[in-house]
Amino acid sequence: MKIIVTGGAGFIASQIADAYLDQGHRVIVVDDLSRGKIEQVSKQAKFYRANIRDRRKMEAIFKKEKPEMVNHHAAQIDLRKSVADPVMDAEINILGSINLAELALKYRVKKFIFACTGGALYGEQDYFPADENHPIRPLSPYGIAKRTVEMYLYYYGRVHGLKYVSLRYSNVYGPRQDPFGEAGVVAIFAEKLWRKQTPLINGPGKQTRDFVYVGDVVRANLLALKPGIVGEFNIGTGIETSVNRIYLELGRAVGVKIRPVHGPAKKGEQMRSVLDYSLARKRLGWEPKTKLDQGLLQTAQYFKP
156 is known as an active-site residue: no
Q: How far, rounded to the nearest angstrom, does the alpha carbon of residue 213 sit from its chain's CA centroid?
A: 11
3-state helix, strand, coil in the chain (%, to 5): 40, 20, 40
Taking the C-alpha atoms of residue 108 and residue 167, their distance in angstroms, rounded to an integer, is 21
Contact partners, residue 282, CB within 8 Å, separation at least 6: none
Dihedral over Cα of 150, 153, 157, 163: its sign: negative
Q: Long-range contacts of range 259-263, CB-CB < 8 Å, 24 or more positions apart?
A: 259/198, 260/198, 260/199, 260/200, 260/201, 260/205, 261/198, 261/199, 261/200, 261/201, 262/200, 262/201, 262/202, 262/203, 262/204, 262/205, 263/200, 263/201, 263/202, 263/203
The active-site residue out of 20, 48, 122, 142 is 142
> Is the link from the previous residue into 305 a cis peptide, with omega within 30 of 0?
no
- Active-site residues, by number, are 142
